[in-house]
């Protein structure tokens, strides 16, 4: 059928165009209906489909459907629907249009079969998502959005450089397994790593996401980093370096999340922690680990959206998002509190919740391939995520102490969006067969093995016990208003100071050089002017005889030269 060849991003771009020219309920209806129609269209597509075209002597594949891209396509539709539904109460054309274009760009990237198409949508992801940060319309969000855009565009520039080197070496733009055997592979890996929030490249995420609007952050949490995970799974499976990068990502954010006061920044660090599990699975590179990465990405998008929605609801209803300002909200926001607890249980991998049936695949793959130390570190990271996301987020927002804030539940559309996400967290956790059936490789794995259930339950129990004991003893880091220094200090402070010093020296040197040159030019002008003054040497009146003498001298010199060098004359 002709409509099978319709790229998955097109409906989102159409919805964005309609959102630009419509208002109110009509806009809401069109956005949701188009996303649902696009999801049904994708569901009916065959598992193998390519659209090819010839452009500038290259064969391009702007649209490729296979089992790997389909999984991300499904969950991106779910995320887009939930995010749009969650934002319907906002009468802001910028957020609606940029959100749809952003989701469509992510869709275009994961269904791209060539590197040129990947690059185009990679840059569209950067530009469209920046507007979701700026949409808060504050000085902090503007500055954060500018830093975010610079880093995202830098990723695109590095990707383009890698693509050009790759094409020169291979003569092909096909997007398959790339590896790190050549310079092009390293450049492309770095470009993907920036958007996947590799260590030291991650601060754009913790800087920008908490500054976006309460609804914009839900969009942001779903698409950019998961698109990067897809790219890594497509281009670099089995790259062992990613195992160690991933475990570092899983571990270091725990310490920042524990001491962070801003609840959405806690979730941002938690997001990096979860990405670490996925990157580790890609590095292991087996069918089991890739299935674990893809399934974890699938469920993570949903439960992380739920957590960001719950905190976005708190911010929307109270105007506050710091743990020191919150507490006791379960009294007036009980539904939101329940949704937050479901999201927290999912990210903590409680049995019967979605995180449990996905993360275990990666852990099992690490053990199976002999990465025992990696497994232990991932186990530590699992305990850490339970502390900062499973306990800290719902506890300090809803239960820790009575902040005195009395509000109400958020608007109905926000409650419905959270209900859908919470339902999916439970449904996938209770019945994971559907998720396993759409993974790239056949799954022969039972997550509810008695040993796994007992291990995870014991881990969660002792983690909770440790939290309670540390809290009672006053050892657990208190919630205080502070600024936590991350690696962004190097480019926001250190490099800024170095750059200021270097450019100050350049400007001083330039000013000194210009002043010296101008002084000499002015001196020359004064000298020439003095020559032509009425009393100057050039202005003195001389007898005609002086000219005759000089003409005679020049003529004599010419004749002497002519007679002395006759060959030169001929």
**DSSP per-residue letters across 309-375:** HHHHHHHHHHS--BGGG---GGGT-HHHHHHHHHHHHHHTT-TTSHHHHHHHHHHHHHHHTT-HHHH
Residue 536 has pLDDT above 70, yes or no: no
- 468 and 555 in a single domain? The answer is no
**565 and 495, same structural domain?**
no
Distance, in Å, from the CA atom of 228 to the CA atom of 279, rounded to the nearest integer, reads: 10
Evaluate if residue 1 carries a pLDDT over 60: no
**What is the C-alpha to C-alpha distance for residues 406 and 388, in angstroms, rounded to an integer?**
25
Helices (H) and strands (E) in the chain, counts: 23, 2
**Residue for token digits 């259930």?**
453
First to last CA, the chain: 87
Residues 344 and 463 in one domain: yes
CB 282 within 8 A of CB 391: no
pLDDT for 129:
93
Q: Residue 207 and residue 265: Cα distance in Å, rounded?
A: 8
Crossing angle for the helix pair 412-430 and 287-318, nearest 10 degrees?
150
Give CA–CA dist 39/8, Å, rounded.
Answer: 9
- State the pLDDT confidence band at 479, using cuts at 50, 70 and 90: low
How far from 509 is each of 281, 499, 506, CA to CA, in Å?
A: 53, 15, 5
Rounded Cα distance, 415 and 430, in Å: 22
Mean pLDDT of 128-154: 92
Phi, psi dihedral angles at 384 (to 5 degrees): -65, -40
Which has the closest alpha carbon to 228: 165, 156, 309, 292?
156
Residues 381 and 394 in one domain: yes
* 549 and 531 belong to one structural domain: no
Q: Are 291 and 208 in contact (CB under 8 A)?
A: no
Higher pLDDT, 295 or 526: 295
Average pLDDT over residues 143-170: 93
Please, which residues have CB within 8 angstroms of residue 88's CB and are 6 or more apart in sequence? 28, 413
Running DSSP on this structure, what letter comes out for residue 5? G
- Residue 107 pLDDT > 70, yes or no? yes
Paired tokens of 511: 């000013």
In this prediction, residue 463 carries a pLDDT of 79
Same domain, 247 and 104: no
Which pair of tokens denotes residue 146?
Answer: 């500018």
473-492 average pLDDT score? 71
Average of per-residue pLDDT across 520-538 = 75
Choose one of 234, 260, 278: the last residue of a domain.
Answer: 234
> Of residues 570 and 276, which shows the higher confidence score?
276
Of 441, 463, 483, the last residue of a domain is 483
**Residue 4 carries which DSSP code?**
G
325 near 102, Cβ under 8 Å? no
Query: What DSSP element (H or E) covers 60?
Result: strand 58-65
DSSP 243-279: HHHHHHHHHHHHHHHHH--BHHHHHHHHHHHHHHHHH
Looking at residues 246-274, what average pLDDT do you find? 90
How far is Cα 26 from Cα 19, in angstroms, rounded to an integer?
A: 9
User: In this structure, are 222 and 266 located in the same domain?
Assistant: no
Contacts (Cβ under 8 Å, ≥6 apart) of 176:
234, 235
Both 223 and 305 in a single domain? no
Q: List, in sequence order, every residue forming a beta bridge with 63; answer none if it has no partner.
A: 51
Decide if 232 contacts 276 (C-beta within 8 A): no
The yes-or-no verdict on residue 423 having pLDDT over 70 is: yes
Whether residues 220 and 258 fall in one domain: no
SS3 content of the chain, % helix, strand, coil (to 5): 75, 5, 25
Q: Which two tokens stand for residue 280?
A: 């580790």
Query: Which position has the higher pLDDT, 464 or 263?
Result: 263
Q: Provide the domain limits for residue 61.
A: 1-234
335 and 230 within one domain: no
| Domain endpoint, select from 202, 234, 266 | 234
Same domain, 360 and 250: yes
pLDDT in tens, 336-367: 999 999 999 999 888 999 999 998 899 999 99
Q: pLDDT value at position 555? A: 86
Residue environment code for 340-375, b if the CB has 16+ CB neighbours within 10 A, otherwise e: bbbbbbbbbbbbebbbbbbbbbbbbbbeebebeebb
The band of 390, judged by pLDDT with boundaries at 50, 70 and 90, is confident
Q: What is the pLDDT of residue 499?
A: 80
Lowest mean pLDDT of 109-118, 324-333, 412-421, 525-534, name the range.
Answer: 525-534
* Torsion sign (Cα): 182, 187, 188, 193: positive
Would the pLDDT of 568 be above 60? no
Two tokens, residue 309: 């929605």
Q: Does 565 lie in the same domain as 423?
A: no
Per the structure, the count of domains in the chain is 4
Q: What is the pLDDT of residues 191-234, one digit of tens each?
A: 999 999 999 888 899 989 999 999 999 999 999 999 999 999 99
The residues with which 49 forms a beta bridge, in sequence order, are 65
Pair 440, 110: CB distance under 8 Å? no
pLDDT band at 456 (very low <50, low <70, confident <90, very high): confident
Give the DSSP H or E segment for 55.
strand 49-55
Mean pLDDT of the chain: 88
pTM of full prediction above 0.75:
yes
Cα(224)–Cα(208) distance, integer angstroms: 12
């Amino acid at each position: 059928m002709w409509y099978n060849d319709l790229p998955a991003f097109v409906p989102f771009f159409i919805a964005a165009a309609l959102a630009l020219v419509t208002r109110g309920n009509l806009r809401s209806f069109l956005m949701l209906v188009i996303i649902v129609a696009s999801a049904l269209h994708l569901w009916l597509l065959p598992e193998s489909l390519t659209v090819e075209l010839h452009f500038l002597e290259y064969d391009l594949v702007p649209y490729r459907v296979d089992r790997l891209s389909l999984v991300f396509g499904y969950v991106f539709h779910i995320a887009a629907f939930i995010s749009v539904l969650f934002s319907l109460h906002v009468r802001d054309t910028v957020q609606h249009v940029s959100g749809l274009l952003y989701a469509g760009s992510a869709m275009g990237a994961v269904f791209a079969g060539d590197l040129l198409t990947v690059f185009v949508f990679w840059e569209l992801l950067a530009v469209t998502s920046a507007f979701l940060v700026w949409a808060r319309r504050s000085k902090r969000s503007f500055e954060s959005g500018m830093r975010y855009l610079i880093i995202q565009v830098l990723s695109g520039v590095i990707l383009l450089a890698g693509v050009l080197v790759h094409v020169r070496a291979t003569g092909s733009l096909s997007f398959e397994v790339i590896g790190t055997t050549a310079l092009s592979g390293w450049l492309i890996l770095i470009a993907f790593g920036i958007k996947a929030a590799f260590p030291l490249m991650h601060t754009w995420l913790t800087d920008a996401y908490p500054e976006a609007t309460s609804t914009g952050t839900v969009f942001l949490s779903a698409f950019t980093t998961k698109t990067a995970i897809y790219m890594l799974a497509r281009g670099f499976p089995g790259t062992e370096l990613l195992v160690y990068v991933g475990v570092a990502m899983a571990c270091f954010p725990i310490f920042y999340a524990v001491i962070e006061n801003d609840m959405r920044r806690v979730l941002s660090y938690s997001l990096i922690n979860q990405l670490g599990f996925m990157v580790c699975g890609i590095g292991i590179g087996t069918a089991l680990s890739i299935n674990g990465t893809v399934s974890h990405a699938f469920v993570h998008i949903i439960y992380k959206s739920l957590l960001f929605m719950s905190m976005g609801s708190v911010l929307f209803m109270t105007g506050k998002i710091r743990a020191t300002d919150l507490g006791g909200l379960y009294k007036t926001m009980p539904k939101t509190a329940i949704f937050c607890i479901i999201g927290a249980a999912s990210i903590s991998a409680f049995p019967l919740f979605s995180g449990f049936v996905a993360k275990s695949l990666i852990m099992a793959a690490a053990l199976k391939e002999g990465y025992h130390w990696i497994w232990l570190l991932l186990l530590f990271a699992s305990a850490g995520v339970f502390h900062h996301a499973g306990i800290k987020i719902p506890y300090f927002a809803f239960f820790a102490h009575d902040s005195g804030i009395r509000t109400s539940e958020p608007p109905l559309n926000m409650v419905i969006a959270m209900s859908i996400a919470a339902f999916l967290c439970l449904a996938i956790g209770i019945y994971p067969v559907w998720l396993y059936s759409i993974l790239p490789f056949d799954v022969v794995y039972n997550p509810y093995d008695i040993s796994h259930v007992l291990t995870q339950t014991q881990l969660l129990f002792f983690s909770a016990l440790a939290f309670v004991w540390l809290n009672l003893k006053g050892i657990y880091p208190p919630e205080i208003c502070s600024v936590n220094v991350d690696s962004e200090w190097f480019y926001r402070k250190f490099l800024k100071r170095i750059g200021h010093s270097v450019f100050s020296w350049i400007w001083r040197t330039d000013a000194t050089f210009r002043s010296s040159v101008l002084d000499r030019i002015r001196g020359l002008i004064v000298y020439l002017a003095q020559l032509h003054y009425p009393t100057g040497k050039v202005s003195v009146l001389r007898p005609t005889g002086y000219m005759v003498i000089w003409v005679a001298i020049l003529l004599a010199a010419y004749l002497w030269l002519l007679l002395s060098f006759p060959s030169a004359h001929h």
